[in-house]
Structure 1
Amino acid sequence: MFKEWQRRRAVQRVQPGNGRTLKRFRWWQPFSRTLFYLPLRNDDGRQVVYAVDVNHVQRFLSENGKGKAHLYLDGKHHAESELPAAFPLRGSTIEVAPTAFGLKRCHYVTTEGAEHQLIPDRSSSEGRRAHLDREHPALSRLISYCSLILLVIPLLLLIPQLIEVVFKLPPVTQRFGTFTSPIQLPGWLNLTLTLGAAAAGWERALRLRYNWLLDSMAKG
């Protein structure tokens, strides 16, 4: 019910497009832009192509830090919405949700509730990551496991430090005494783990993978 309420609110933010032409993805945009496609057939059987375009530079420079998602229909600007976005399509919906490193969601949700991830542009970072997964699945899995490890390690190291903070609260100290974390990391190692977690968060965003606990480590 909560997700449905969020979806209805997102639909209300959709504004009509101005008909401008979709710009081709350029080689210098892999870190600044995300572009996904959705081919569909109309009721008359004619195939149309929707495209979702998100400019991450505009996201971070916007006043509210949210930015916008732009929906194109057959190469023409069809609609736009503040993120997270939900574009209605004949009862179905294209849902777009951001993370600190890209997108965690760019899916087509049918009236029956089935979800299909949109197809990334081949030249985009997401498209290159998807191509690697198709052409070199073993290497792709290895990279995925490394990303997971780079997020799990900071989480495990954080737990003793959080326990130490809790034991400093007067009611807890009075009843259980104090606790000192056995893990005291040097500054260079903290920096290394932070950079590793950020790289892992970006890699996961390329695959539209997200877990609120693990990926919060990537944001620091």
Structure 2
Amino acid sequence: MLKKWRTRRAVQRVQPGNGRTLKRFRWWQPLSRALFYLPLKNDDGRQVVYAIDVNHVQRILSDDGKGKAHLYLDGRHHAESKLPAVFPVQGGTIEVAPTAFGLKRCHYVTAGGTEHQLIPDRNSGEGRRAHLDREHPVLSRWIAFISLILLVIPLLLLIPQLIEVVFKVPPVTQRFGTFTSPIRLPGWLNFTLALGAAAGGWERALRLRYNWLLDSMAKG
């Protein structure tokens, strides 16, 4: 019920497009732009191509920090919406949701509830990561494993420090006493771990992977 309500709210945010032409993906944009495609057949059997374009720089610079997703139909600007976005399209909807480092969702959801991830532009960061996965699956799995470790280690180091904070709350202290975290990290190591977590979060975003606990570590 809550998901349906959120979907309806997101659909209401959709605004009509202005018909401008979709700009092709440039070589310098892998970190600043996401571009995905969805080929579908119309009711008359004609194939059309939808495209989702998200500019991450505009997201960061926007007043609300959320930015917009833009929907193109056969290369023309068809609609736009604030993120997270839900666009009604032929046979279902396209759902787009951001993370701090990219997107965690860019999926076509049919009327029957089946989900399909859209196809990333070959030159985009997501497209290059998907190409690596197809051509070098072993290397791809190792990179995915390392990115996971870069997120797990800061999380494990943070847990004792969070426990120490909780034990400073007066009712907890009165009942259970105090707790001192055995972990004290130098500033340079904290900074290094933060950079590693950011790299891990960015790599996972390229694969549209997201876990609220792990990826919150990357955001800091």
Cα deviation for residue 4 of structure 1 reads 1.2
For residues 21 and 55 of structure 1, the distance between their equivalents in structure 2, rounded to whole angstroms, comes to 15
Match of 2:188 in 1: 188
Q: Does the 8 Å CA contact 2:151/2:218 hold for their aligned counterparts?
A: yes
Distance 2:119 2:23 in 1: 17
Q: CA deviation at 1:91?
A: 4.8
Q: Separation in 1 of the partners of 2:59 and 2:22?
A: 18
Stretches of structure 1 that go unaligned for 5 or more consecutive residues are none
Query: What is aligned with 1:54?
Result: 54
Which runs of structure 2 are paired with 1:72-83 in the superposition (5 Å)?
Answer: 72-83=72-83
Question: Which residue does 1:170 correspond to in 2?
Answer: 170
The separation in 1 between residues aligned to 2:61 and 2:175, in whole angstroms, is: 49
Equivalent residue number for residue 3 of structure 2? 3
Alpha-carbon contact 2:38-2:118 (below 8 Å) kept: yes
The residue number in structure 1 matching 2:40 is 40
For residues 91 and 200 of structure 1, the distance between their equivalents in structure 2, rounded to whole angstroms, comes to 35
Question: SS of 2:212's equivalent?
Answer: coil
**Matching residue of 2:21:** 21
Instruction: Name the CA distance, whole Å, in 2 between partners of 1:5 and 1:91.
Output: 19
Amino acid at match of 2:210: Y
Q: TM-score, normalised by structure 2?
A: 0.98
Query: After superposition, what is the alpha-carbon deviation per residue over 1:146-204, rounded to whole angstroms, capped at 9, x for unaligned?
Result: 11111111111111101111111111111211110011111111111100000000000
1:102 and 2:117 are equivalent in the alignment: no
- Following superposition, the deviation at residue 90 of structure 1 comes to 3.8
SS of alignment partner, residue 20 of structure 1: coil
Unaligned runs of at least 5 residues, structure 2: none
The superposition leaves residues 112-158 of structure 1 with CA deviations (integer Å, 9 ceiling, x where unpaired) of: 10100000000000000000000000000000011111111111111
Question: Runs (4+) of structure 1 moved beyond 4 Å?
Answer: none
Determine the structure 2 residue equivalent to 1:155.
155
What is the alpha-carbon root mean square deviation over aligned residues?
0.8
Secondary structure of the structure 1 residue equivalent to 2:108: strand
Aligned residue for 1:213, secondary structure, equals: helix
Q: Is 2:145 the partner of 1:142?
A: no
Aligned-partner SS, 2:144: helix
**Cα distance in 1 between the residues matched to 2:158 and 2:206:** 26
* TM-score normalised by the chain length of structure 1: 0.98
